[in-house]
Amino acid sequence: MTEQAPIFILLFPFLTAVIVALVGLRHKSLSWPLTLVSLGASVCASLSTLAQVVEHGPIRYKLGGWSPPFGIEFHIDGLSALVAVTVSVVALLTAIYSKDNVDAETPDKSSQYYSLFLLLVSGLLGIVITGDAFNLYVMLEVAALTSYALIAMGNKRASLAAFKYLIMGTIGASFYLLGVGYLYIKTGSLNMLDIREILETAGLFNSPTILVAFILITVGVWIKMAFFPLHSWLPNCYAFAPTTSSNIMAPLVTKVMIYVMVRMVLTVFGPNYAFEILDWENIVVWLAVIAILAGSIGALAQKDLRKMLTFLIIAEVGYMVGGLWLADETGITGTIFHIISDAFMTLCVFLFAGIVFAKTGARDIYALEGMFKKMPLTMVGFLVGAFSLIGIPPTAGFFSKWYLVQGGINSGNWEYVVALLISSLINAVLFFRLIEIAYFGKKPAEGHDHHHGDDHAKVSEASFTMLLPLLSTAAILIVIGLYNKELVSVIQDFLSQFNLATSIR
């Protein structure tokens, strides 16, 4: 049973997506419980897989018994197991939260909605656990197609945002596919580990074809993860999508794309090629610095709560791209750690934004007025998420940033360290502004006192299904922070095979 766990991670949400769509024709009320059960099973499967990986090392699961490189395999090492656990847990928490939102925002479509939701999760899980470069493309498109539909279910503006995302997403995925094509020309293989082996044994690293493949894959993945100059699709999509859609996509989609980048750089091309033969680190780290600053400054300019958070995602993507290209073991540890902690802290603040929107119907940050008195528990959850994004111990965000900064110092990329600190300061400004509004009830200068006063009289604590995921996410953030040593040891076990630079230059 446990040796079959890798396939169950994917199978549960994937098959349930079909079942939910069919059962939903008759019994709409069953959609939500079915979704919860399948995602719960998926969480168990991914935890069991993680336990196996930690104990016995990487798992190579052959689909249908066909041995690689001819068959497709799932290759699960420490990195993919950790990200798979993150994805499935975030999905489960969002699913619990979604109960009221889905009924309110997409009435009569709840079964279709949950079906798409589960397909999105299975696509993301597929990206994480597959060991085959073309299979990854297919999973990328499964996740992308469902996310276009999930976004387009929102309000009027969401449709246009979804259309733009569809165009950008297709270009990104097509670049990735082309890159895989060029890799296939040179190596004749689609299996990631096999590609790496052929690249090394045949000494193909100086070939221009491989360079083209690397550039196409990198740019394709950058578009998909909204790395700064290529980010234009993201803010509107996540700000105007239905609450549940942005709650699942904001934490996961960009983070899974960063996983793809890490996977491509470390496992497929190898750090030796990406960091030493190409020697691009400084350019990419500078791009990341620009992305971090642009994202943070963009966030300062926003009055819409959710839109402000989407710009923070862009800054966080800059953290992780920069962290990887520091080419330093500590920096890369920080990147992988940050994939996990950022997924949870983004989830935390988006869940909070969703609750505020559901309770007040307002999008702007002044809707938070007096929230501490009206919904104290919700605010506790929000505070933990905000502290984590700022980087205050003992939350997870502090430790992942710690490793990123340490990596920047080790590799001598001071511009990255400075950008990270500035961005943390800006996060502090942003969130303390929110906390101030929520605690002291500071009103905007123009003053819509009457309007707000009436609305807020009715606001009370969020319902149990909304509160439980928010508080669990907050608890997870603190637990990750407290047990950061254990997490880092799993990441460093994974990284130890690559002989990365560790010494101070």
Partner 1 sequence: MELLQSIADSFNYWIYIILMMIGLYALVAKNNLVKKLIGMSIFQTAIILFYVSIGYKDGATIPILYEHQAHHGHHDAGHGDAEDAHHDVEHAVEEAAKEIHAVAEDHADGHDAHADDHDTLVDSHDAHTSSAIHAEDFANPLVHVLMLTAIVVGVATLGVGLAITQKLYGEFGSIEESEIIEQIRTGK
Q: For binding to partner 1 (CB under 8 A), which residues are involved?
A: 69-70, 134, 137-138, 141, 145, 148-149, 152, 156-157, 159-160, 162-163, 166-167, 170-171, 174, 177-178, 181, 184-190, 202-204, 207, 209
DSSP-based helix, strand, coil % in the chain, nearest 5: 80, 5, 15
To the nearest whole angstrom, how small is the minimum distance from the Cβ of residue 141 to partner 1?
5
CB atoms within 10 A of CB 73: 25
Cβ atoms of 394 and 478 within 8 Å: the answer is: yes
Residue with Cβ nearer partner 1 (162 or 339): 162
To the nearest whole angstrom, how small is the minimum distance from the Cβ of residue 224 to partner 1?
14
To the nearest whole angstrom, how small is the minimum distance from the Cβ of residue 233 to partner 1?
13
Residue in 219, 246, 91 with CA at minimum distance from that of residue 161: 246
What's the 3-state SS for 409-472? HHCCCHHHHHHHHHHHHHHHHHHHHHHHHHHHCCCCCCCCHHHHHHHHHHCCCCCHHHHHHHHH
Give dist(CA 121, CA 115) in Å, integer: 10
Take residue 32 and report the two structure tokens written for it. 């939500």
To the nearest whole angstrom, how small is the minimum distance from the Cβ of residue 69 to partner 1?
7
Give dist(CA 285, CA 250) in Å, integer: 23
Q: Give the chain's length.
A: 505
Q: Which helix (H) or strand (E) holds 195?
A: helix 192-201
Distances (CA, A) of 257 to 109, 136, 356: 29, 11, 29
Residue with Cβ nearer partner 1 (203 or 361): 203
To the nearest whole angstrom, how small is the minimum distance from the Cβ of residue 231 to partner 1?
16
Residue with Cβ nearer partner 1 (10 or 152): 152
- Collapsed DSSP state (helix, strand, coil) of residue 72: coil
To the nearest whole angstrom, how small is the minimum distance from the Cβ of residue 152 to partner 1?
5
CB atoms within 10 A of CB 328: 29
To the nearest whole angstrom, how small is the minimum distance from the Cβ of residue 70 to partner 1?
6
274-279 own/partner pairs: CB under 8 Å, 24+ apart: 274/214, 274/327, 275/325, 275/327, 277/205, 277/206, 278/211, 278/214
To the nearest whole angstrom, how small is the minimum distance from the Cβ of residue 142 to partner 1?
9
- Single-letter residue type at 412: G
